[in-house]
Structure 1
Amino acid sequence: MIGALLGDMIGAPYEFDRGAKTKDFPLFGKHSEFTDDSVMTIAVAEAMLDTLGQPDEEITSALVASMQKWGKKYPNAGYGGMFIRWLHEKNPKPYGSFGNGSAMRVSPAGWLFDDIETTRHTWLRLPLRYRTIIRKASRVQRQSPV
């Protein structure tokens, strides 16, 4: 998760730059800052920690509440227009996002395992509550399967 947050900040100045690919750039320049991806990663982490072992409905409610709370706390982090509307809905539903944000914000799921080998060999044996958290974090705003 730390790597995801740092990568977000380091890459922020180049997020929409389609210029030449290079490895010659400052790690932290004057335009390096966290974006919506970092904010939502933290929101998912909070919901994961708060709902381990809880029923599906509580996981979904916690994810939505945490994402809306953190999104409203950092309203200028670079959200898309549909997501901004979703943040302010009283009863938000998936809106069919085709962006990659859902994949970017699930890095807190790595906290469920101690190493990559355990991650690779444990997914199918995971208790349903862990798999549910990971899937729900991806589906809160997406209707398309993840």
Structure 2
Amino acid sequence: MIGAIAGDIIGSVFERHPEKTTKFRLFSPYSTFTDDTVLTVAIAYSILTGRDYTTALKAFGSKYPDAGYGGSFYVWMLSCHSKPYNSWGNGSAMRVSPVGFAFDSVEHVLAEAKKSAQVTHNHPEGIKGAQAAALSVFLARSGETKDSIREEISDRFDYDLNRTIEEIRPDYYFDVSCQGSVPEAIIAFLDSENFEDALRKGISLGGDSDTIACIAGGIAQAYYKTIPPEIIAKVRNRLPEEFLSVIDEFNEKYKIEFTS
């Protein structure tokens, strides 16, 4: 999931200052983790420890209250009740990459992605976005080709993945819905030549940059299994020790190997 977190951190400075190009500086003094990272680590922690998703999301979110959560999630996070709020937003998809890495069948990945989503995002599109992102990670780490991934995700979720980043970019705008950002994030991976290129292409759309890059980065890590060492170093330097402990334990337990 370090690939997803890298996408979040690198994309963080472009969320409100969109870039419509792939030629930008990857890191700046303002590059930081956001809610995408906090909640991705929370999902990984839940899977590692067996704690339920609600408990983990609320615990990690409450500890980092200024990470940039959506308004509905923020209210849910701090409330004494835990009812989902029917969201179709991409928050369900941005945090789900650990599911794609941890479980070993299509059926289990889809069921667990739904479970992780519906504690907050119980709208059909919110669940669908999480399932599509998690299944893309699973298929990528399982050695499927890009054409196979494109076909499987398109057929199962009715997403139009027969577009290119170059075609999407001119008219694309900030969209936090699953249906308006998850397909684009998957296409950023499908169009990419390597891990870094996937992040650059996702951010270059000029939309919800950190989340699109987060989703694309998780899939790209699973597929390429190579992340430039300078990216890993700069990402790890921006994370709290407790996040690193969860990431390292998760990688060890689920035998997630990648070269740098």
Preserved contact between residue 41 and residue 108 of structure 1 (Cα < 8 Å): yes
| Residue aligning to 1:56 | none
1:131 Cα deviation after fit: 4.4
> Matched residues in 2 for 1:4 and 1:100: separation?
14
> Matched residues in 2 for 1:88 and 1:108: separation?
24
Preserved contact between residue 67 and residue 87 of structure 1 (Cα < 8 Å): yes
| Residue aligning to 1:133 | 112
Question: Which AA in structure 2 matches 1:3?
Answer: G
State, as a whole percentage, how many aligned pairs show the same letter: 43
| Residue aligning to 2:49 | 50
| Residue aligning to 1:71 | 61
1:39 aligned onto 2:38? yes
Preserved contact between residue 48 and residue 133 of structure 1 (Cα < 8 Å): no
1:98 Cα deviation after fit: 2.4
TM-score for the superposition, normalised by structure 1: 0.77
1:5 aligned onto 2:5? yes
> Matched residues in 2 for 1:101 and 1:141: separation?
9
Task: Give 3-state SS (helix, strand or coil) of 1:39's partner.
Answer: helix
| Residue aligning to 1:123 | 106
| Residue aligning to 1:116 | none
Paired positions, count: 125
> Matched residues in 1 for 2:15 and 2:91: separation?
13
Preserved contact between residue 86 and residue 92 of structure 1 (Cα < 8 Å): yes
1:3 Cα deviation after fit: 0.5
Q: Deviations over 1:43-84 (max 9, x none)?
A: 011111122xxxxxxx6xx11111111011100000122111
> Matched residues in 1 for 2:15 and 2:119: separation?
24
**Equivalent of 1:91, from 81, 98, 113?**
81
1:13 Cα deviation after fit: 0.6
1:27 Cα deviation after fit: 1.1
Question: Which AA in structure 1 matches 2:40?
Answer: T
> Matched residues in 1 for 2:100 and 2:111: separation?
14
Q: Deviations over 1:90-120 (max 9, x none)?
A: 221111222101011110013225xxxxx6x
Task: Give 3-state SS (helix, strand or coil) of 1:90's partner.
Answer: coil
> Matched residues in 1 for 2:117 and 2:16: separation?
23
Mind listing any 5+ residue stretches in structure 1 that lack a counterpart?
52-58, 114-118
Q: What is the CA RMSD across the aligned residues, in angstroms?
A: 1.8
